[in-house]
A and B are shown apart, each in its own frame.
Chain A
Amino acid sequence: MTPRPHRARVGALSFAVSLALVGLPACGEDDTASEDTSTTESAPTSAATETTEATASAPTISDVWARTSPSGVDRGAAYMVITGGEADDELTGAAVSTEIAAKTEVHEVVMADSSMPATSMGGGGMETTMPAAESTTPSMDGDAPATTTAPAMEMREVASIKIPAGEQVALAPGGYHVMFMGLVKPFVVGETFDLTLTFAKAGDVTVTVEVKDAP
Chain B
Amino acid sequence: MRLIRTAVAALALVTLAAVGTACGEEDTAGPKAGSDHLPDKLAGVELDPAPDVTDATLPRADDGSAFSFVPEAGDVQLVYFGYTACPDICPTTLSDLRNALKSIGKTAAGHVRVAMATIDPRRDSSVVLSGYLQSFFGDGVALRTDDDSQLQAAATAFGATYEAKYPNQGEPQVSHSTYLYAVDHTGHVVVAWPFGTTAADMAHDLELLLHREKEGAQ
Residues of A within 8 A of B (CB): 67, 70-73, 75-77, 107, 109, 112, 114, 117-118, 121, 125, 136-137, 139-140, 142, 144, 146-155, 173-174, 177, 179-181, 213-214
Contacts and interface: CB of A to CB of B under 8 A. Distances in A.
B84 A70 contact: yes
B43 interface: yes
A142 B175 contact: no
Interface string B131-156: 11011100000000000000000000
A173 B96 CA distance: 11
B87 A118 contact: no
B47 interface: yes
Given A72-B84, A213-B95, A114 B175 contact: yes
A180 B91 CA distance: 14
Nearest to B129: A72
Contacts of B44: 142
A173 B161 contact: no
Closest 7 CB pairs of A and B: A154-B175, A150-B177, A71-B135, A112-B175, A173-B92, A71-B131, A150-B179
Interface string B81-95: 000111111011011
Nearest to A75: B87
Interface string B173-187: 111111100000000
A154 B92 CA distance: 14
Interface stretch (B27-35, B59-67, B103-111, B192-200): B192-200
Interface string B154-178: 0000011111010000010111111
B132 A70 contact: yes
Contacts of A67: 87, 91-92, 95
Given A73-B84, A77-B88, A140-B195, A149 B177 contact: yes
B55 interface: no
A149 B47 CA distance: 9
A147 B192 CA distance: 11
A155 B92 CA distance: 14
Contact of B135 (A70, A107, A148, A181): A70
A46 to B, nearest CB: 45
Contact of B196 (A137, A142, A152, A177): A137
Contacts of A76: 87
Given A146-B48, A150-B177, A155-B86, 11 more contacts: A70-B91, A71-B135, A72-B131, A73-B84, A76-B87, A118-B163, A149-B159, A149-B161, A150-B192, A213-B95, A214-B96
